[in-house]
Amino acid sequence: MIGYLTQVIRAIAFVFIALLLCGVIFEFAGFSAPLMFQSIADGAFLSVRAWENSLRWGLPLFLTALGVVISFRCGFFNIGAQGQFYMGAIAATFVADGLNGAPAVLVMPLTFAAGILGGAVWALWPGLLRVRSGTDEVITTLMGNFIAGLFLVYVTSGPLKDPSGTGQAASSRPIGEAYRIAATSSISPAIIVIAVLVGVGMWVLVNRTSFGVLSSLAGRNPIMVVWQGARLSRLGLAGFVIGGALAGLAGTIEVLGPIGRLSSGMLPTHGFTAILIALVANLSVLATAVVALFFGGLAAAGLYLPVLAGLPAAAIDIINAAIALFITARAWPKRLTGLFGSRQDAG
Amino acid sequence: MTTGTATALACRDVSVNFGPVAALADVSVNFAEGMIHAVVGQNGAGKTTFARVAAGIVRPDKGGVEIAGREVPVGHVGQARAAGIEIVHQSFALPPSFTVAEAMEFGANGSGSLYTRRDLERRWTRHLESLGVRVKPRERIRDLPVETQQAVEIARALVTDARVLILDEPTAVLSPSGIDNLFERLKVMQANGVTVILILHKIREVLAIADTVTVLRGGKLVEGPTSTAEVDAARLAASIIGSTDDILSETDRDALVGAAEDEGKETEPAHHAGPAILDMRGVSTRPDPEGPALENVALTVGRGEIVGIAGVEGNGQRTLVRALSHLADLTGGTITLSGVEVTHHPLSARRANGLRVIPFERNSEGLSLSSALWENWSARALLRDGVLKLISPARLRRACTAALQVWDVRFNSPNQPAGSLSGGNAQKLILAREVDDEATLIIAAQPTRGLDVGATAFVWRSLREARDRGCGILLISSDLDELFDISDRIVVMLSGRINGEFSHPYHLGEIGAAMTGADR
C-alpha cells in the first residue's frame, strides 16, 4: 500500500515538474508563465463551465485509456488506440448515416455495437498476428493507426462525404438529431452514465475477477502462466479486443455526442494521450479516471490559452509532451520491462 | 602434512557482503603447494564466493590474498592470473559458438592479434594433446559433450603456467565415470606441480581425491585445511551441516553431503507401487529448444511411488517434463494420466486431471517474481475455476497467508513480490501451490537445486508425504545421492531415451554406466 502511494505521489510530482519546465520555457519565450498557469486553471477546473469542458474531453479519453490499461496489463504494448478510435467512429457513422430515418431505439444500439465492433476488429488483427506468429504488436498497431487515419480521410471525402460541406476539413453529414447523445457540443448525462458504467465494469474486471489477476501475471511473466496451463493466446487476444472495443466506444461517443459528425483528421492525438494517461496512472483503473480528467482539463484549457495568455493552443501539446518525457524517464512500469525481456526469450 | 611446504595461496581475514548478507566473514586459510585441496560446504556456505575472491573476480570488503607468498591486489582478475591463479567456473564460460582453437586462443591471450585458423589449430592441438584432451580443435564448443567442454576449459586455464587451479563444483555436471576421469586428470596435474583447489559438496568425492579439506558454513571457516587422513565421513558431515540433527534422518544427512556408501544398501523396503498414475508409451517428440528429442520413451509411475529420473543434464530430462506438460510437440506415442488418455489434451486439462508441475526454473517458469505472493499462489486455482469468475482478493490474500504459514514460508505480507523471497522460501511457495489434495501426479524437476539443508529436507519430506497420501511423483534430479535417498525406483535417461531402470538396492557403478552409455 505504501509502495502504491509513493508511486502515485511520484507520478503527480513528475507532472508538476513537467508543468514547471513548460512554465520556464514559455517565460523565456516571452510569454507569462503565471498567466499561463492561471488560464489553465481557469479553463480546466475553476468554474462549472470549465468542469463541463474538462469532462467533455476527459471522459472519451478515460474510456480509451482504460482500453490501453487492459491491454498493457496483459503484457501487450498495443499502441493502436488512435486507429481503433477512428475505426470505431467510422463504423458507427456508417450505421447511423445509413439507417438515418429509422427509429432511434433501433439505430442507436446498432450504432454503438458497430462502433465497439469496429474498434475491436482493428485491434483483433494485430492481436492474432501477435499470438499466432509472434509479429511485434508495436509495429502492427502503429501502422494500423496510419491506415485508419487515411481510411478516415477516404470515407469522409468519399462514401460518407457531406455534399453540402464547405469547411476545409472533409466531413460526413451531421448525425441525425434523434441519435445524438449530447445535443450541444459539450458533455451530457448520457456520456457520464456510459463512462461510469464502463469504468465500474473495467474496475471489476481488473480487480475482482480471475482475468484481472491472471492477465497481470501473464503481463509480468508469460512463461509462468503457460506452465500453469493458461492459454496465453486467449488472455492476450482478450486484452487486445477489449482495448480496441473501448477505443471504438470512445469514437462512437465523439460522433454521436460532442462532435456530431465524422470529420477528417478529428482529434489526431486522442489515442496517444490515452496511452500517456494509462502510463501516468501506472495501469490502475481508479488512477486512470483521475488522470484522464486532468488531461481532459488540459485539453479544455487549450481553448482558453490563445484568448487569455496569448499562447497558441499547441502549447498544450508541448505540456503533454513534457509530461510524456518525464513519465517515460521515470522508468518504464516494471511489467513493460518484463515484457520486453520475455520477448527476447520468445524470439 | 601441511607443515614444511610452501604456501601456494593464502587468504587473510576475507569478508564479503552482498547487501545485508555476509557471504564470507573473516575467512583466513592457507593452502600448501603441490596438493589437492577441497573446500566444502552446503549451498550458500560461501564456497563460490571464496573461489571468486581468490581468482580476483569478487573484490572483498576486507582482507587480502597472497599467492606464493606475494600479496596480490584484490578484485583484479588480470593481476590474479599474472600471479598464476586460474579458475574453472561452475557454469562454463567458453563462448559456445567458438571452435576449440578459437576459445583457447581467446582464453589464453584475449588479444586481437592477427592469426589464421590453421595456425591456431596447429598451436593448440599440441597443447591439448599434452594434457590428454581428445578433441578436434575445429569443433565448436557447443557441440562438445559436457565432460569434454570441461576438459577444454581446464586446458584453457593451464595455458599460462598456472600455479593454482581452482575448480568450482566441477563434478556437478559429470557422470560418475566422468568424475573418475576428471580426478585422474587432476592427479596428473598435481604431479606436475600444480596446486589444485576443488570446490565440492560431496564428502565421497572429497575423500577420494583431496589431500586436505576445508569446511565453510554460513560464510565462516569451520575448520581446515585438515588432512583428509585425519577425518572420516561422519565427522565431516557434522562439520558441514552443523547441529541440524532434529530435521534430518541419518540417510537424508548422508544423501545431502554425499557421504552415502558407494555400494547401495537396503535403506527401506521399497514401496509397492499401486496402479499406474502415469503411463507413457512409445513417446517421441520433435527436437526441443531445451534439449534432445524424446525417442520411444516408455515410463510408468504408480500410485504412492517416487520414480527418480537420473541422467547427465541435457539428456532429455527437460524435454520429458515439457512433453508431460504439453509444451513439447509429440510425434508419436500416448500419455495416460490416471487411466485417461491425455496425449492431445492441453496442460489445463491435464492439471484438471491431477497433474502438478514443479518446473526446472523456479524464477521464470515457477513464479512471476514481480507479482505479489498471493497472485502467484492463487494462479493454479484461478485457472482451474475459469477466467471470468468473480474473486475476492481480500479472501485470497487471507487464504494465501494461511497456506504459506502451513508450508512454513517466511514472509511479511501476501502483497510482497515473489522476488523478495529467498530460494528456499520461493520453492516452498511453489510447493504450496502444486502439492494439494487433488494432486495425483507431481513432477518435481530439480526441486532442491540451490537450497540449503533445511529447505532441502523440507522438500524431501513434502514429497514423501505426498507419496504416502497416494500421489505418484516423478523426481528429476542430477544429484544421484538425492535420487538414491528418496526414489522408490530410478530410471536413467540418455540422449532422450530411457537407458535402464533400477530398484533398491542401487549401485552407483551400474547407474553411472547407464548414464554414460558405458553399459552397452
* pLDDT of res. B306: 95
Report the distance separating Cα B72 and Cα B410, nearest Å. Answer: 41
Where residue A137 falls among pLDDT bands split at 50, 70, 90?
very high
Q: Does residue A226 belong to any structural domain of this protein? A: yes
The β-bridge relationship of strands B195-200 and B164-168 is parallel
At residue B125, the 3 state secondary structure works out as: helix
Q: Between residues 414 and 433 of chain B, which touch chain A (CB distance below 8 Å)?
A: 415
pLDDT at B437 over 80: yes
Half-sphere exposure of A245 (CA within 13 A, CB side): 13
Q: Which CATH architecture group holds B7-84+162-242?
A: 3-Layer(aba) Sandwich (3.40)
Output A265 or B277, whichever has higher pLDDT. B277
Rounded to an integer, the average pLDDT of B461-478 is 93
CB B426 within 8 A of CB B416: no
**pLDDT beyond 70 at B261:** no
Task: Please compute the mean of the pLDDT values over residues A118-142 and round it to a whole number.
Answer: 93
Per cent of chain B over pLDDT 70 is 94
Q: How far apart are CA A43 and CA A296, in angstroms?
A: 11
Amino acid B156 reads R
Average pLDDT over residues A314-343: 65
Q: How confident is the model at residue B435 (pLDDT cuts 50, 70, 90)?
A: very high
pLDDT for B472 equals 94
Assess contact for B125 and B137: CB atoms under 8 A: yes
| Cβ–Cβ gap A216/B371 under 8 Å | yes
Residue A4, number of CB atoms within 10 A of its CB: 12
Mean pLDDT for the stretch of residues A194-210: 95
B92 touches B150 (CB < 8 A): yes
> From edge to edge, which strands make up the β-sheet containing B276-285?
B297-302, B276-285, B330-337, B340-341
pLDDT of the residue at B143: 83
Contact A248, A88 (CB under 8 A): yes
Q: pLDDT band for position A119 (50/70/90)?
A: very high
Q: Is B487 helix (H, G, I), strand (E, B) or coil?
A: coil
* Cα–Cα distance for residue pair A64/A276, rounded to 1 Å: 11
Instruction: Fill in the amino acid letter for A161.
Output: K
Sequence-separated (6 or more) residues with CB below 8 Å from residue B330: B283, B284, B285, B323, B343
Res B395: pLDDT = 94
**Can you tell me the mean pLDDT for B332-351?**
94
Alpha-carbon distance of B311 to B323, in angstroms, equals 17
Q: How far apart are CA A261 and CA A246, in angstroms?
A: 19
The answer to whether residue A6 scores a pLDDT higher than 80 is: no
- Residue B333's nearest CA partner among B344, B319, B348 is B344
pLDDT band at B122 (very low <50, low <70, confident <90, very high): confident
Residue A62 is placed in which grid cell? 478515460
More confident residue, A128 or B22: A128
Would the CA dihedral through B44, B48, B53, B56 be positive or negative?
negative
Cβ-proximal residues to A169 (8 Å cutoff; 6+ apart), any chain:
A156, A263, A264, A265, A266
Round to whole Å and give the CA distance between B270 and B305. 9
Q: Is B391 on the interface with A (CB under 8 A)?
A: yes
How many other CB atoms are found less than 10 A from the CB of residue A8? 17
Task: List pLDDT tens digits, range B392-422.
Answer: 999 999 999 999 999 888 889 999 999 888 8
Name the residue of chain A whose CA is nearest to B346's CA. A229
Using DSSP's 3-state secondary structure scheme, residue A76 falls into: coil
State the nearest Cα–Cα gap between B176 and chain A, in angstroms.
32
* Omega cis (within 30) before B170: no
Smallest Cβ–Cβ distance between A229 and the set B348, B371, B415 belongs to: B348
Q: Which domain holds residue A201?
A: 2-14+66-284+327-340
Domain count, chain A: 1
pLDDT tens digits, one per residue of B360-370: 998 899 999 99
Per-window interface: A 202-261 vs B, CB < 8 A: 204, 207-211, 213-214, 216-217, 220-221, 223-231, 234-235, 238
What pLDDT does residue B245 have? 56
Q: Report the CATH fold assignment for B276-354+438-516.
A: Rossmann fold (3.40.50)
Instruction: Answer yes or no: is A132 within a domain.
Output: yes
The DSSP letter of residue B131 is T
Q: Which of chain A's residues have a Cβ under 8 Å away from the Cβ of B376?
A: 217, 224
Write the pLDDT tens digit of every residue in A28-69.
888 888 888 888 888 888 888 889 989 999 999 999 999 999
pLDDT digits (tens, 9 = 90+) for B66-103: 988 888 888 888 888 888 899 988 776 788 888 888 88
pLDDT tens-place string over residues A295-324: 999 888 887 788 777 777 778 888 888 888
Q: Which residue has the cell 458533455?
A: A187
Residue B333, pLDDT > 90, answer yes
* Helix pair angle (B146-157, B176-191), 10° resolution: 20
* Exposed / middle / buried, residue B305 (Cβ in 10 Å: 0-12, 13-18, 19+): buried
Q: Which residue from B376, B368, B364, B369 is spatially nearest to B290, judged by alpha carbons?
A: B364
Tell me whether residues A214 and B383 touch, CB distance under 8 A.
yes
